[in-house]
Amino acid sequence: MALPIYDRLEEQRRRMVETQIRARGVRDARVLAAMTHVPREEFVPVELREQAFTDHPLPIESGQTISQPFTVAFMAEALQLKGTEKVLEIGTGSGYAAAVLSRLAGEVHTIERIPELARTAQATLKRLDYCNVHVHTGDGTLGLPQEAPFDAIVVTASGDHLPAPFKSQLAAGGRIVMPVGDEGSQRMFLWTSMPDGLAAEDLGRFIFVPLIGVHGRRRFNDAPDD
C-alpha cells in the first residue's frame, strides 16, 4: 500500500539529507535536523513539488531560483550557529533558506529586492509558522542598519568584494558567509570578526547569481528584467 503523501514527502526529505548533504560532508547535527524538518516542497511551485528533493536549483517566480539543498546546508553549517544568534540573510528568494536558519538561530532578518518574491516568501513563512523570521524588501547590499549588529550574515548571491555595510553591521566575533568572484569563477568565503579585523577562509568553489544593488556586481537599474 502506498504511503500517504505527507509520509512520502518526509521520507524523501530524509533521503535527500542522507544522500545529498550528509554524504557530501555536512556534519552539524542541528543543520541536518533542520534540513530534514523544513518542508522544502512547500517553497517550490506546486507543479515542481515532486522535484523538490533533487540535488539542483529549481525555478521559482520572478525568474529566480531556489538553491540546491546541499548549498543551503553548507552555508548554514559554515555560520556555526548555536541557537541564540541574530542572523541577516541577503536574498530571501522563496524563503526556504530563511526557514532553515530559523531553526538554527534565535532571530532571522532576510532582505529581498523583488517585492513579489518578498510577499510570497513572507506568506509561506507565516503559513508554516516560522515566527522568528522577518522579511524585508529593499537593497540587500545595504544590509539592515536599523537591526544591526548581527551575529551572522549570509549572502546568497556573488559579489566582486565584501560590501562595507556587512562589515560595519557585524557583531564582535560574528561571521559572514558569501561567494565572491565573477560569473566564471566564484569562491565561497567565511569571514570571522577578530579583535584585529576580519579573518577570511576560502571554503571552495560555488556558482551563484550576481549580487545586485549599490554595493553589488550590478545596480538595480542595470539588472535584466525579471
CATH number at residue 175: 3.40.50.150
Cell of 78: 559554515
Q: Per residue in 85-133, pLDDT tens?
A: 999 999 999 999 999 999 999 999 999 999 999 999 999 999 999 999 9
Catalytic residues: 67
Q: Give the predicted TM-score (pTM) of the model.
A: 0.92
Range of the domain at 60: 5-222
CA angle 99, 53, 3 (to 5 degrees): 105
Q: How many domains does the chain have?
A: 1
Amino acid at 192: T
User: What are the DSSP E strand ranges found in 28-106?
Assistant: 58-59, 65-66, 86-90
